Homo-oligomer: A and B are copies of this chain.
Amino acid sequence: MPEWRKDPIIERWVVIAPNRGARPHDVAHATTARSAGPCPFCEGNEEETTQEIAACRESGTQENGPGWRVRVVPNKYPALTLNEATPPSGDAFHQAMPGLGAHEVIVESPRHVRGIVDLSEDHFREVLEVYRRRLLELRTDPRLLYAAIFKNVGEAAGASLEHAHSQLIALPLVPRQVRDELAAALALYRQRGRCAYCELLEVESAAAARVVLQTPHFVALCPYASRFAYETWVLPRRHASRFESIAPAAEADLAGVLQQVVGRMENLLDYPAYNYLVRTAPLQEVELPHDHWRIEVFPRLAKTAGFEWGTDVFINTVSPETAAARLREATPLRAAALETAAARC
């Protein structure tokens, strides 16, 4: 069973999850992310997954059968589960907690497509709406303090299956990275009297050098101190710490912005492996004046090496200004099959 363990020295928790070692394609020398057998995420193969938690379905269709557009299932090889009841244990140097949490897969299309650019804008908006609903549902469990929604595309980005999907991991703690960001943002809020991200957005919009694109609701930019080449963040213009509070019009806008950002990266960088991450406020918080939700997109062009693991210093070989200029000029590639999808959704 999975277990949470705290580092003996620093406040960093890891999940020890031997059960996940058994999952398909998660092997040391995997050379392809393509499954050999039938794809468990394709419509008609619903029996290959665990029982569905939620779905957007055509009316009259049955749970766990065909007829869905977006489908949420528990990860078959969960890093964490909600059924953990063993008590915390340990001594001064060995603190453990049960492997409590949730690990869900959001299957983004009934068709075997690879990317979000292969979905119609309205279909992808529906995926974002599923993110929102899952966050609202999970925050009703008071044991869950944080939820990360993320996407891994390509083997180098940690994907084990090709069919377009995202994942959600809900945690019984606020992770170190988020805690550090919240503390730093709170200190800046106290100094400057307003959300630092809101102020930063104004400065970046005015300077324009790192801006990729702007829409009525969002700014996409390459952060000043980007860790990864072509790293791009999408931030709402309007202050909000919780992704779940997004309004319908902004959600539709966001779908288009993310498809633009990812589509331009795919065209410019020849379909790189990439991750994106929805960075929202802790689940049990009310609206925070100092935090600002965003989606962070990271192409995975270089490998992280020994230096980064030991220092948390990253070396980025493409300046954010160059990256933004190239992404401004790029156009997204759209799959030929898209029209079919648009007609369907």
B272 and A17 contacting across the interface, CB-CB below 8 Å: no
Stretch among A81-89, A109-117, A172-180 lining the B interface: A172-180
Given A5-B224, A175-B313, A224-B94: A307 and B150 interface contact (C-beta under 8 Å): yes
B18 and A318 contacting across the interface, CB-CB below 8 Å: yes
Chain copies in complex: 2
Measured as residues with beta carbon below 8 angstroms from the partner, the interface class of chain A is: 35 or more
The answer for the CA separation of A311 and B223 in the assembled complex, in Å, is 18
B225 and A12 contacting across the interface, CB-CB below 8 Å: yes
Residues of B within 8 Å of A270, CB to CB, are 28-29
B296 and A310 contacting across the interface, CB-CB below 8 Å: yes
B224 and A93 contacting across the interface, CB-CB below 8 Å: yes
A175 and B272 contacting across the interface, CB-CB below 8 Å: no
A148 and B310 contacting across the interface, CB-CB below 8 Å: yes
The answer, yes or no, to whether A329 is at the interface (CB within 8 Å) is no
The answer for the CA separation of A320 and B14 in the assembled complex, in Å, is 12
B157 and A305 contacting across the interface, CB-CB below 8 Å: yes
Residues of B within 8 Å of A176, CB to CB, are 311-313
The answer, yes or no, to whether A26 is at the interface (CB within 8 Å) is yes
Tell me the interface secondary structure of chain A in the complex: mixed
Stretch among A121-129, A253-261, A275-283 lining the B interface: A275-283
The answer, yes or no, to whether A73 is at the interface (CB within 8 Å) is no
Given A28-B272, A302-B26: A311 and B148 interface contact (C-beta under 8 Å): yes
A312 and B12 contacting across the interface, CB-CB below 8 Å: yes
The answer, yes or no, to whether A79 is at the interface (CB within 8 Å) is yes
Residues of B within 8 Å of A8, CB to CB, are 196, 200, 223-225
The answer for the CA separation of A297 and B165 in the assembled complex, in Å, is 33
Query: Which residues between 281 and 316 of chain A lie within 8 Å of chain B, taking CB atoms?
Result: 296, 298, 301-307, 309-316
- Smallest Cβ distance from A96 to chain B, in angstroms? 9
Among B9, B309, B316, the residue within 8 A (CB) of A298 is: B309
Return the chain B residue nearest A322 by Cβ: B18
Residues of B within 8 Å of A342, CB to CB, are none
Top-9 shortest CB links A-B: A158-B305, A150-B306, A275-B306, A175-B311, A21-B317, A277-B310, A177-B312, A158-B303, A5-B225
